[in-house]
């Protein structure tokens, strides 16, 4: 149920992580700023993984939707997945057309002595982590160790996200902005996209043949070889999504994030690690028994990263996102700018105190000349206190700006954050003026004494 403050489109609260990830927020607490924050701390790979898995899930939903729109059902098109989903549960029950009645009928037919309601509850508790990330936080796997990420590279984004292009240091942001090399991310129609070329995802190894009738494409070979190409940012809609595309998407994510020494390897607890990709790269040379085994293994491709995605979501909720809110909702400066202002403020303070002591110990007249100390003291207090609180009150009150990277700014558009920053800016500016008044009164009334 929506909160009363959210019904009119204005949140009277901080946005949640899910709202940020699904692009329902505005600067400075949007997905772009969150990515820049993680990039500054070297932890953007975990967000890349979450976004790529979310894109994989949208691809799977698009496949199930295409199958149902064609008049076929998943039980006929992909019986291995259908049986697995009925038995173990799946995150795509609604998209695949799996009803509770169908699951109960399947469980009753497979084990007439079992209680289908108890089995369904067990399956729901096992697979419900995907839909309820709070369950992952309560498990022992939801207390992660710090993520030590690798070097920064381009990321692939959610195919359902809106295109939000921003600029960082004069360059386009990674596909957090929803586009890559001018291509918009999304499930586009043939009329809107035309004959869009789709990258293969840079799969490693040789070709796997269509022994299962899935078309052709590259598969995983050497696990330690880094992937050089980028994932597709456009899903061409001139044809239906195939199971081969689901396989390529899962294989790319596995090789990119979950293999030892991968391009953007992330930390996962041992219970969540996938020791090997379920598809061997030699389908054209296996017998029928092995082919059946491979088909059963490939039925896990849609739900392969459900638990891993829930774990990374818990990592972001517990560690990165609270720090992001503290940095962006209570301040508008970056750490580098704060350090720069601290040094500059100390330098100006030294100059102001030097001038003040000269006025006193040289007994410079007339005394009203001491009022000129207002300028250096105000600048120094403004720089020092803004560095202390990571908040520039004048930038908020006069220009409504928040800093993303050093000396690069965005307008503050999130209503609740804007209101909070303005309140804090007024208080901080009031404190600066009070300290300035006290200092000037002190230096003005101190009697001069020439040494």
For residue 265, cis peptide bond before it (omega within 30 degrees of 0): no
Whether residue 161 is found in the same domain as residue 83: yes
Q: Is residue 395 part of a domain?
A: yes
Whether residue 304 is found in the same domain as residue 393: no
Q: Is residue 1 part of a domain?
A: no
Q: Is residue 106 part of a domain?
A: yes
Q: Give the pLDDT of residue 448.
A: 73
In terms of Cβ atoms closer than 10 Å to its own Cβ (0-12, 13-18, 19+), residue 68 is middle
Question: Which of 324, 352, 383 is the endpoint of a domain?
Answer: 324
Beta bridge partners of 170: none
Query: What's the chain look like in SS3?
Result: CCCHHHCCCCCCCCCCHHHHHCCCCCCCCCHHHHHHHHHHCCCHHHHHHHHHHHHHHHHHHHHHHHHHHCCCCHHHHCHHHHHHHHHHCCCCHHHHCCCHHHHHHHHHHHCCCCCHHHHHHHHHHHHCCCCCHHHHHHCHHHCCCCCCCCCCCCCCCCCCCCCCCCEECCEECCHHHCEECCEECEECCHHHHCCCCCCCCCCCCCEECCCCCCCCEECCCCCCCCCCCCCCCEECCCCCCCHHHHHHHHHHHHHHHHCCCCCCCCCCCHHHCCCCCCCCCCHHHCCHHHHHHHHHHHCCCCCCCHHHHHHHHHHHHHHHHHHHHHHHHCCCCCHHHHHHHHHHHHHHHHHHHHHHHHHHHCCCCCHHHHHHHHHHHHHHHHHHHHHHHCCCHHHHHHHCEEEEECCEEEECCCHHHHHHHHHHHHHHHHHHHHHHHHHHHHHHHCCCCCC
What six digits make up the tokens of 189? 């129609």
Give the predicted TM-score (pTM) of the model. 0.69
Question: Which of 324, 343, 376 is the endpoint of a domain?
Answer: 324
What six digits make up the tokens of 325? 């809110």
Question: Which of 300, 324, 348 is the endpoint of a domain?
Answer: 324
Please state the separation of Cα 85 from the chain's center in Å: 28
Q: Is residue 13 part of a domain?
A: no
Q: Do 80 and 90 meet the contact criterion of CB atoms below 8 Å apart?
A: no
Q: Give the pLDDT of residue 148.
A: 37
Tell me the residue range of the domain where 259 lies.
27-324
Whether residue 283 is found in the same domain as residue 411: no
Beta bridge partners of 217: 208
Beta bridge partners of 52: none
The rounded distance, in Å, linking the Cα atoms of 53 and 250 is 8
The rounded distance, in Å, linking the Cα atoms of 180 and 198 is 13
Whether residue 264 is found in the same domain as residue 354: no
Find tokens 């809107």 and name the residue. 192
Whether residue 277 is found in the same domain as residue 158: yes
Whether residue 305 is found in the same domain as residue 425: no
Closest CA to 80 of 305, 293, 304: 293
**Phi/psi at 209 (nearest 5 deg)?**
-85, 170
Q: Do 220 and 279 meet the contact criterion of CB atoms below 8 Å apart?
A: yes
**Residues in the chain, pLDDT under 70:** 1-9, 88-89, 91, 93-238, 279-297, 451
How many domains does the chain divide into? 2
Q: Is residue 74 part of a domain?
A: yes
Whether residue 252 is found in the same domain as residue 356: no
Q: Is residue 157 part of a domain?
A: yes
Q: Give the pLDDT of residue 397.
A: 96
Q: In angstroms, how far is the first alpha carbon of the chain from the final one?
A: 75
The rounded distance, in Å, linking the Cα atoms of 34 and 30 is 6
Q: Is residue 4 part of a domain?
A: no
The rounded distance, in Å, linking the Cα atoms of 255 and 222 is 9
């Amino acid at each position: 149920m929506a909160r009363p403050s959210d019904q009119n489109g204005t949140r009277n609260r901080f946005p949640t992580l899910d709202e940020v990830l699904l692009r329902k927020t505005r600067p400075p607490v949007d997905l772009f700023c969150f990515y820049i924050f993680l990039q500054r701390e070297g932890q953007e790979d975990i967000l890349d993984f979450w976004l790529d898995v979310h894109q994989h899930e949208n691809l799977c939903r698009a496949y199930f939707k295409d199958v149902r729109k064609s008049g076929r059902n998943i039980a006929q098109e992909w019986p291995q997945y259908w049986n697995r989903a009925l038995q173990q549960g799946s995150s795509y029950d609604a998209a695949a057309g799996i009803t509770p009645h169908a699951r109960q009928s399947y469980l009753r037919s497979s084990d007439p002595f079992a209680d289908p309601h108890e089995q369904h509850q067990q399956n729901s508790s096992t697979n419900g982590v995907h839909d309820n990330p709070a369950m992952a936080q309560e498990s022992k796997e939801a207390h992660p160790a710090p993520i030590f990420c690798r070097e920064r590279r381009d990321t692939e984004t959610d195919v359902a996200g809106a295109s939000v292009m921003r600029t960082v240091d004069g360059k386009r942001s990674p596909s957090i902005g929803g586009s890559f090399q001018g291509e918009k991310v999304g499930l586009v129609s043939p009329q809107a996209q035309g004959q869009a070329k789709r990258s293969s995802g840079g799969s490693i190894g040789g070709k796997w043949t269509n022994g299962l009738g899935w078309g052709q494409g590259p598969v995983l070979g050497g696990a330690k070889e880094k992937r050089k190409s980028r994932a597709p940012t456009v899903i061409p809609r001139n044809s239906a999504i195939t199971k081969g595309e689901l396989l390529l998407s899962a294989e790319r994510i596995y090789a990119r994030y979950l293999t030892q020494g991968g391009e953007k390897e992330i930390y996962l607890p041992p219970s969540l690690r996938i020791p090997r990709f379920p598809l061997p790269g030699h389908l054209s040379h296996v017998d029928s028994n092995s082919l059946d085994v491979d088909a059963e293994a490939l039925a896990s491709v849609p739900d392969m990263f459900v638990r891993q995605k829930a774990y990374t979501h818990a990592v972001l909720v517990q560690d990165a996102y609270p720090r992001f809110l503290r940095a962006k909702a209570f301040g508008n400066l970056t750490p580098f700018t704060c350090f720069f202002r601290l040094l500059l403020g100390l330098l100006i303070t030294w100059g102001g105190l030097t001038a003040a002591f000269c006025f006193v110990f040289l007994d410079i007249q007339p005394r009203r000349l001491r009022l000129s100390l207002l300028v250096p003291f105000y600048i120094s207090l403004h720089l020092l206190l803004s560095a202390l609180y990571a908040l520039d009150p004048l930038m908020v009150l006069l220009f409504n700006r928040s800093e993303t990277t050093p000396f690069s700014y965005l307008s503050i558009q999130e209503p609740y954050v804007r209101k909070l920053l303005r309140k804090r800016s007024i208080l901080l500016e009031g404190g600066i003026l009070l300290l300035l008044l006290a200092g000037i009164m002190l230096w003005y009334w101190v009697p001069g004494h020439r040494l």
